[in-house]
Structure 1
Amino acid sequence: MNAFVLNRHGRMVFPSNIVPELDFSTVETLEQLDSVIQRDFETKAPSGTDILDKVRTGGYATRYALMRDLALNLFWANRFSITMYEKRPTRWADVPRNRPDVFLPVVEPWEEGETKVAAVREAYAALPAQWDAEVEDRVFGVLFDVFGNRKHHATTLPAIKPTVAEFLDKPGGLTFRLPSYDPDYPVYDYRDILDCDEEVPELEALHRWAMVLHNQYPWDRTQVELAEAGQLSDDDFVVVFTPRDKAVRDFLRRLEDGATSRPAPQPRESRQPARPYREVDVRRDFRVMPRLEALAAVHGDQVCSNDDLIRNTAYNWSPMSAAEISQKTGIEQRRYSSVTVEELALQAAEAALAKSGRGPEEIGAVLVCTCTSSRLIPSLATYLCGQLGMYQVAAAYDLIAACAGMPYGLADATRLLQEVERPVLIVCVEKFSDKIGNVRTSRMIFGDGAAGMVVGPAPEGADPDLLVMKTYASGPASEVNSILWPNPEFDNNITVFGPQVKALAGRYLAQMIEELSELPDPDGRAGSLMESVDLIVPHQANKTMVIQLAERAGLTADQLYFNIETVGNTSSASIPLAIHDAVRDGVLTEPARLFAPGFGAGAVAGYAIMRLDPAVVAVQTAAAPTAGEQPAASAAEPEPGELPKPSDDVGVAFG
């Protein structure tokens, strides 16, 4: 499924947030499925009894709050049918009796259903609108038509439906009976749902929810009854369930075969190293001094604002406003790319080579720092060699050091310089937008982007641009596994465990500052190396978190530079993108000493104390869209599975 599409209003839509989909290729057992269903549906969804109690105690302040609970309840009632099965109203006489892949839902009557429905109707009428009464009435009409005509209890629905033969063998079981069925009963087209357009982002998301839920019952809901097998006549219609795709069929076969999950191995208790690792003092430890010849940036071409996130709220997201996202993360928008990660990397590489004036035949090695590459063979680094026309280099490989990618890349490039004595091309590139799915915390934080750097030999006798470096890795297993991709428990999407990430970031940042505070300034300009730093450009993880951790370690917020407000967290690309933006925005106008610390997934970290001459930065001059800006022309709406077409802004940005 596409990471995002632009609808006919020029607004960004996330297809994976619209219809609940589970990746059953990663689910082995019913227990694993139950865990996912509980997390995504049951934890946040109120039961009908909960809604009734809340109505009676005055727990709803607005119509929107009531409607949101209705929608969550209905998603919960459809938790298995919407994720596992296709519904096919079929004439009872035409239903196959003995096929193993044709099922009939067995349901129980909804206890106090009429009372709950009446209470919701009356409560809605008495509550005030939160934003727009007309829109809220329209959305409520769709939701209540589903909720008010539901006949079955949601609590007792099993994941595995009985086959028709099993239904017939167990008298007393109830299933849906429709006295008639209109195959042309109106439903919302996929494009209708994409093009949903409301001024209030929260109402736009809720309207999409209502449209999806309406489509789960494509028949006259007022006529639905619950009937036993013996009460069905040949001309009655029943709702047959069939597996929605091959992955569900395979999952059902695994269950039939008695598949069991293997317990994960338990990690050992982590131990401190036998002795500390010393810093890498470039002038002390190396013969060939590194010179930063060029730095070029490629930002994502599409802006995804916090309002865009809210209007794309998925059924399994906790309520949060655009302002709350900003307050929690420091992010106002993030940038997504319409092109592949390979194209992003290539654009950054070409821009860096052009700025350095180097031809492909002059490059001695290519390093790509990424944790979101879509390829293993060939590596992204060797792919770039081929695309750039490099007949032979001494080394080309990918480095998976996540948010510490740039410090790791600079450290490896400096080592390679000693061997090849010719420039090394480093590309830091990430494309997160297509690896998030409907995971809320990841969608709030991550963006796409790339940066290219050329590190070459400094002239004989010249000072290096990279002064002191150090890399770190590992820690407690909980920190090592604090950011995961692919994660089977979250449909193979990237997931972030916030407390563990904050623990590792705080641990490393405090350690770096302590170590740098004990090192002398090699030029004697200040009392310590830390005091000699002109500007700190940290990994742009989460502005709110990083400032808190930095202040805890003795720094002040005005010592740090951030661009995360406009680009999001781009992992390995975040530091070089921030350096570029600091030059572009006039924060860095003359050579300066930077402290660039990175820390993140895998409990890796690293830093570089470096000299940055703004003259080596290839500053982007093309106009870029900002949050809220609409494309000049509406983009065509891709069908599911079709690649999104780049907007006109892509041509402006990248030619």
Structure 2
Amino acid sequence: MKPFVINSHGRLVFPFNFLPTLDFSVMESLEQLDAVIERDFEAKAPTGTDILERVESGGYETRYDLLRDVALNLFWVNRYAFTMYEKRPTRWRDVPRGREDVFLPAVTPWEDGERKVAAVRDAYDRLEPAFGPDAEDRIFDVLFDVFANRRHHATELPAIKPTVSEILNERGALTFCLPGHDPDYPTYAYEQIRDASEDVAELEALRRMAMVLHNQYPWDRSQTRLEDVGALGDDDFVVLFSPRDRQVLDFIERVRDGGEARPRTARTPEAHKPVKPYPPVMVSRQFKVMPRLEALSAVKGEVVCTNDDVIRNSAYNWSSMSADDIARKTGIQSRYYTQRGLEQISLEAAEAALEGAGREPEEIGSVIFCTCTSTTLIPSVASWLSGQLGIQQTHGSFDVIAACAGFPYGLAEATRLLQEVERPVLVVFAEKFSDKIGTVRTSRMIFGDGAAAVVIGP
């Protein structure tokens, strides 16, 4: 579950859009991880060389365009650190040499690093601000400090880092080295990132990205150098990589041990047409008991998510867009979210429908619940609703999982049930997408939360 939060300014925030996480419990192989990383980090992020070429060709129109590319580049540079590891500066003499769950990255120097850094600095000074110079300067200061002190090449980074014992056996292997480390080096607390606020939606998203990237390097970055592991002194500090959780460590161990992934279907079977086409269902001709809409109710979320809110929460893997772009592409200006549970808004819709129809619980012959976002399998939500409404027994209370087709499927099934029970059927439709969309941009632009219910009587 990935719920939204309301920050101290009363604004919607989607924490998972700027704090990348992956579920390694479903990650079966290194190839699968590579595909996810390519989709979420590499597809939209420019390399340092890409940025340099765009600067030199005059491809940036505003400072914001440059800042955004630098931020996406740095998220890509940290793609495995974000999703798999925590960085822990440790004095070399205190580093355990034999543990299998402590890793020390081997890196190569950044090609043309000084040239790329100088190009970004010069380009920023030349370009005009897109929204506001003060806010853009604040963001640039944080981002550029990270970018300018980057030391390593990032095009080819292994997901699984060598253990300390392994890197000690690699002649000439380079790793990050610090002359010292302040454990109280200032970083941004989660609350500070959540409550970051800018007047311009695009800059608020970029500011959060900058703060998160700053936290990836909780030390004096200007003092970082690449050092041959064999030349490290006892009082030098190195940056150990520790798995973020047990699931990540299990994945690493499974890959290193050569464990096989669960078998998957090798191919999609050929689709076969039905023996004959399905004719339309002619209700007035084929059914004896005619359905009648007795009541319709709707419950919407209490939190409005505007297009500006979506842009304020632009994720590290989104293409650049504006609130106006969303409106132009979808016709949507806002969508409603709720902090209530899916079952709660469903119950509210069901109660309103029964009241509107003037029906008592004992009159209902069946309850159908249609959704694709329920997290409850047993008991069915329809059974739970029946109990909450005081319905002791029905001909059937069951869930239908049909996504967008839930409404017609539910009505069709209610019409068929009427032939058997000859009593009203309560059909409830509800979805709660706000805590399940994650960083999927197209879904975030469109879907919201809400419930509706109808009473179909004979």
Measured against the shorter chain, the TM-score band is: over 0.9
Inter-partner Cα distance in structure 1 for 2:99 and 2:273: 60
Deviation at 1:433, TM superposition (A): 1.1
Q: How does 1:323-402 map to 2 (within 5 A)?
A: 323-402=324-403
Q: Report what 1:441 is aligned to.
A: 442
Deviation at 1:167, TM superposition (A): 1.1
Q: Report what 2:202 is aligned to.
A: 202
Inter-partner Cα distance in structure 2 for 1:34 and 1:281: 51
Q: Report what 1:269 is aligned to.
A: 270
Q: Report what 2:216 is aligned to.
A: 216
Give the counterpart letter for 2:402 in structure 1: A
Q: How does 1:93-172 map to 2 (within 5 A)?
A: 93-172=93-172
Inter-partner Cα distance in structure 2 for 1:294 and 1:35: 48
Deviation at 1:445, TM superposition (A): 1.4
Inter-partner Cα distance in structure 1 for 2:230 and 2:346: 65
Q: Report what 1:73 is aligned to.
A: 73
Helix, strand or coil for the counterpart of 2:108? coil
Give the counterpart letter for 2:400 in structure 1: L
Q: Report what 1:412 is aligned to.
A: 413
Contact 1:108 1:156 in 2 (8 A): no
Give the counterpart letter for 2:309 in structure 1: D
Inter-partner Cα distance in structure 2 for 1:444 and 1:250: 35
Deviation at 1:263, TM superposition (A): 4.1
Give the counterpart letter for 1:143 in structure 2: L
Inter-partner Cα distance in structure 2 for 1:377 and 1:430: 18
Q: Deviations over 1:418-451 (max 9, x none)?
A: 1111111100111111111111111111111110
Q: Report what 1:174 is aligned to.
A: 174
Helix, strand or coil for the counterpart of 1:293? strand
Give the counterpart letter for 1:229 in structure 2: V
Give the counterpart letter for 2:408 in structure 1: P
After superposing on structure 2, the runs of 4+ consecutive aligned residues of structure 1 that deviate more than 4 Å are: none
Q: How does 1:626-641 map to 2 (within 5 A)?
A: none
Q: Deviations over 1:381-425 (max 9, x none)?
A: 001111111111110000112111111111111111111111111
Larger displacement relative to structure 2 (92-101 or 353-362): 353-362
Q: Deviations over 1:555-600 (max 9, x none)?
A: xxxxxxxxxxxxxxxxxxxxxxxxxxxxxxxxxxxxxxxxxxxxxx
Helix, strand or coil for the counterpart of 2:378? coil
Contact 1:107 1:156 in 2 (8 A): no
Deviation at 1:269, TM superposition (A): 2.9
Cα RMSD of the aligned pairs, angstroms, is 1.2
Report sequence identity in percent. 64
Give the counterpart letter for 1:214 in structure 2: H
Helix, strand or coil for the counterpart of 1:151? coil
Q: Report what 2:322 is aligned to.
A: 321
Inter-partner Cα distance in structure 1 for 2:270 and 2:231: 63
Q: Report what 1:59 is aligned to.
A: 59
Q: Deviations over 1:104-134 (max 9, x none)?
A: 0111111111111111111110110011011
Q: Report what 1:558 is aligned to.
A: none
Helix, strand or coil for the counterpart of 1:275? coil
Give the counterpart letter for 1:226 in structure 2: L
Inter-partner Cα distance in structure 1 for 2:34 and 2:378: 36
Give the counterpart letter for 1:204 in structure 2: E
Helix, strand or coil for the counterpart of 2:155? coil
Give the counterpart letter for 1:248 in structure 2: V
Q: Report what 1:235 is aligned to.
A: 235
Q: Deviations over 1:531-556 (max 9, x none)?
A: xxxxxxxxxxxxxxxxxxxxxxxxxx
Q: Report what 1:41 is aligned to.
A: 41
Deviation at 1:230, TM superposition (A): 2.3
Inter-partner Cα distance in structure 1 for 2:88 and 2:268: 48
Q: Report what 2:309 is aligned to.
A: 308
- The count of corresponding residues between Structure 1 and Structure 2 is 457
Helix, strand or coil for the counterpart of 1:376? coil
Inter-partner Cα distance in structure 1 for 2:60 and 2:278: 58
Deviation at 1:281, TM superposition (A): 2.2
Give the counterpart letter for 2:426 in structure 1: L
Q: How does 1:609-648 map to 2 (within 5 A)?
A: none
Give the counterpart letter for 1:417 in structure 2: L
Give the counterpart letter for 1:87 in structure 2: K
Q: How does 1:416-431 map to 2 (within 5 A)?
A: 416-431=417-432
Inter-partner Cα distance in structure 1 for 2:38 and 2:387: 47
Inter-partner Cα distance in structure 1 for 2:393 and 2:337: 33
Contact 1:293 1:455 in 2 (8 A): yes
Q: Report what 1:515 is aligned to.
A: none
Inter-partner Cα distance in structure 2 for 1:52 and 1:265: 43
Larger displacement relative to structure 2 (279-288 or 61-70): 279-288
Helix, strand or coil for the counterpart of 1:239? strand
Q: Can you give the 5+ residue segments of structure 1 that lack an aligned partner in the other structure?
A: 458-655
Contact 1:117 1:147 in 2 (8 A): yes
Give the counterpart letter for 1:343 in structure 2: Q
Deviation at 1:288, TM superposition (A): 1.6
Deviation at 1:21, TM superposition (A): 0.8
Please state if 1:454 is matched with 2:455: yes
Contact 1:334 1:446 in 2 (8 A): yes
Helix, strand or coil for the counterpart of 1:103? coil
Q: Deviations over 1:503-523 (max 9, x none)?
A: xxxxxxxxxxxxxxxxxxxxx
Inter-partner Cα distance in structure 1 for 2:283 and 2:219: 73
Q: Report what 1:7 is aligned to.
A: 7
Give the counterpart letter for 2:401 in structure 1: I
Q: Report what 1:588 is aligned to.
A: none
Contact 1:92 1:233 in 2 (8 A): yes
Helix, strand or coil for the counterpart of 1:80? helix
Helix, strand or coil for the counterpart of 2:79? coil
Inter-partner Cα distance in structure 1 for 2:265 and 2:238: 43
Helix, strand or coil for the counterpart of 1:268? coil
Inter-partner Cα distance in structure 1 for 2:3 and 2:27: 22
Helix, strand or coil for the counterpart of 1:386? helix
Inter-partner Cα distance in structure 1 for 2:230 and 2:270: 62
Inter-partner Cα distance in structure 2 for 1:397 and 1:265: 33
Give the counterpart letter for 1:230 in structure 2: G
Inter-partner Cα distance in structure 1 for 2:133 and 2:176: 35
Deviation at 1:256, TM superposition (A): 2.2
Q: Deviations over 1:223-246 (max 9, x none)?
A: 111111222111111111100011
Contact 1:45 1:73 in 2 (8 A): yes
